[in-house]
Structure 1
């Protein structure tokens, strides 16, 4: 019985060869993000909360970029699996164009509506002057961060294409270089060292912006100087031509992922806004909890990416259905077991991590509870994430839309809204009930995988 969930040594070596570089890159990025958060937290709770609110809003933009790049990446992975370099080139061009469009839209939105969006998170119990400080620091941070939207988007277009063609080490190296720059500049700019005046939240934002340009420079320079390894880049910018038929297929199959990621991320932002109705302390506590969660969540996110890439390549190569099913079953089982260990480690740190922050005991206690609850549901997140990437690899973007963002808006958001708005339920059990919806999502994911409609080659007709 268990044998069908267990692969051989070669199988796991292949999985880890894809997953580990992604995991390392994301872990380093999120770890430095955590240090960034801690550094800002040392300045004060108001600064930390203002930055946290803005990062929640920027998270929606980041996920839109991720969704757009990943949606096109479904085709990139299958073109790479069939050794079609021209097809890869066309998908790369599409990524560049959609990233430019989203950056323009995102910048305009934040310039016009940044302040009203931040105010949505400042309606909970607390001092009026505290809310004013949160808003002021948040706006200071946002104004600088806008300069980092374009390099972030373009770096994702390059890195995503490299990963989908099997080159995972270069994006990892670029990520490492960027976060090291970010870490050093954070130390200098936030607190004021080596003769530089202390800039606080503006310094944190400036460090992030510079690091994003560094990451883009590394991946772009490597790609353009290694055309023999990445043939798609040769002539990629001689024109921006993309075949009409392929464009139509990407819009039908890939762009729903953009909508999905946008709705899912905005759903997460709305959930946090519901939590914030309890008090301003909850804003700070959810920020602390999400910071360490981001570091540990790289386990199931990297495994999910590995599932999407490996299954996509198998589908593109035309492998038999049973072989694809078998590989997917083993990948998902490995992901769940792997992330169970991460969940245990996260729970062990739930009482320790909040003590690092310069904040109140109430905020620390709430953060510890949120971390422990998140750790409990990590294996469930691993399963649903792997199921999502499996469905996506076969181009079932409408199904993933229903499975992911529709679930958030039809189940999680209404539950959080009703409990926070119309009951006096304390925030900790409220948070637990909202997180527990992940178990229901597991059953839905299992049903969709069993149907097998996701097993299809979507590039043959391109």
Structure 2
């Protein structure tokens, strides 16, 4: 019986995780190519785009919070084969993400200089980043719609089409970056503004491809306007009772990461450039963790929706062991390849050395990060235990990571790699507290029983 369950487990895992991994690989690889192209201009350009993207990062993680919270419901409704309520959930998500994206887009259009000045005081970097923000703000509402449909597709196991759409859009982004940044094929050289315009066009392409798949293939998300808006006040309240902690979680966590960037900016502009490279490389290796956590959220959410608690316990044990093991293997691989990645960038030798040292520190914590993302996204959120997940995920950043970051920068004047080593201790604390919660299984509950 256990063998059959494990066979089913790995079969479902591969079906969900592999397309997500392929999509993420292309996404992250092409983002690295993008950063290489921007970095080919100057270090200020690389820092400007990296810091401007912190604002986008804050926005997209709020959107991700809404979509991630909705995935709890969609996965459980799909386990119960309730198509009507899946469409209603999608309607709530589209409205919510639309409002958030309009607010952030207006901020980026109206006061980009103020936003950039929060992160750094260098006037040239602020000027470049502001130009980038004004253009890319147009893509915010488009991106939020894509996110809503993509998250819903993944929750019902439709991952291949999302993979194809994202991959084609990112290829488009990379090609346009080359043309618009450097002025190829008769186009003017637009620098960082060209990078922003390329992103806007690529996001439009992605949305068109996703909507084409959803509606042409008559998927369960093939909802008309009436079905999307068939929502009551009570339905929305029940939705946000579970989802609001996820939104707060992502908002507080991402704000914490932005504050980390402010701390890095107090070290030097070289430290900012180094951390942007570290983030690009780390994201490439975090593909595995994101794929595992997404697969665990879908699979565990489906089983909870079916009230199959025995399978949930099997899945939790398997995903816990898998995330830690893959984290160790990935960390070793990342350490071996980090120097080669860093050498691709056109930066000063001393910046290269500090970037490699920082990447080695990140490698040390990778298995803990793998476990934590699977725990928070795959277990607690899919089980509806979103309030605890919020306190755990955001709380450790704010109570441990941020104080250690500023102490190490402002008081002890430590170099970047030591700053990252100290603030990353919050990941260790998070894993220790979360592991006890996992074993209790009090996080596992069916959130769709009273949705109606």
The TM-score by the shorter chain falls in which range? over 0.9
Aligned to 2:434: 445
Cα deviation digits, residues 314-340 of structure 1 (max 9, x gap): 0001103x3311211101211221232
1:377 to 321, 342, 365: 365
Superposition pairs of residues 26-425 of structure 1, within 5 angstroms: 26-123=24-121, 131-227=122-218, 230-237=219-226, 240-320=229-309, 322-389=310-377, 390-425=379-414
Change (3 A) 1:372 1:115: same
Change (3 A) 1:257 1:379: same
Post-superposition offset of 1:245: 2.7
Query: Does 2:8 match 1:10?
Result: yes
Distance (Å, rounded) in 2 between the aligned partners of 1:376 and 1:15 = 26
Distance (Å, rounded) in 2 between the aligned partners of 1:110 and 1:246 = 33
Distance (Å, rounded) in 2 between the aligned partners of 1:301 and 1:5 = 26
Distance (Å, rounded) in 2 between the aligned partners of 1:193 and 1:45 = 22
Distance (Å, rounded) in 2 between the aligned partners of 1:15 and 1:338 = 14
Contact 2:396 2:427 in 1 (8 A): no
Q: Which runs of 5+ in 1 are unaligned?
A: 124-130
Change (3 A) 1:406 1:437: closer
Contact 1:89 1:236 in 2 (8 A): no
Contact 1:289 1:370 in 2 (8 A): yes
Contact 1:64 1:262 in 2 (8 A): yes
Change (3 A) 1:226 1:284: same
Distance (Å, rounded) in 2 between the aligned partners of 1:226 and 1:14 = 22
Post-superposition offset of 1:422: 2.0
Change (3 A) 1:170 1:362: same
Post-superposition offset of 1:425: 2.7
Post-superposition offset of 1:5: 12
Q: Which runs of 5+ in 2 are unaligned?
A: none
Change (3 A) 1:197 1:247: same
The range that moved more, 160-169 or 322-331, is: 322-331
Distance (Å, rounded) in 2 between the aligned partners of 1:6 and 1:402 = 37
Distance (Å, rounded) in 1 between the aligned partners of 2:241 and 2:77 = 17
Under a length normalisation based on structure 1, what TM-score does the superposition of the two structures give? 0.94
Give the secondary structure class of the aligned counterpart of 1:254.
helix
Cα deviation digits, residues 259-286 of structure 1 (max 9, x gap): 1101101100101211221111101110
Distance (Å, rounded) in 1 between the aligned partners of 2:6 and 2:303 = 17
Contact 1:103 1:149 in 2 (8 A): yes
Under a length normalisation based on structure 2, what TM-score does the superposition of the two structures give? 0.96
Post-superposition offset of 1:235: 3.0
Post-superposition offset of 1:121: 2.5
Distance (Å, rounded) in 2 between the aligned partners of 1:141 and 1:224 = 33
Post-superposition offset of 1:174: 0.5
Change (3 A) 1:247 1:134: same
Contact 1:47 1:137 in 2 (8 A): yes
Distance (Å, rounded) in 2 between the aligned partners of 1:280 and 1:6 = 55
Distance (Å, rounded) in 1 between the aligned partners of 2:418 and 2:3 = 35
The range that moved more, 26-35 or 230-239, is: 230-239
Contact 2:65 2:250 in 1 (8 A): yes
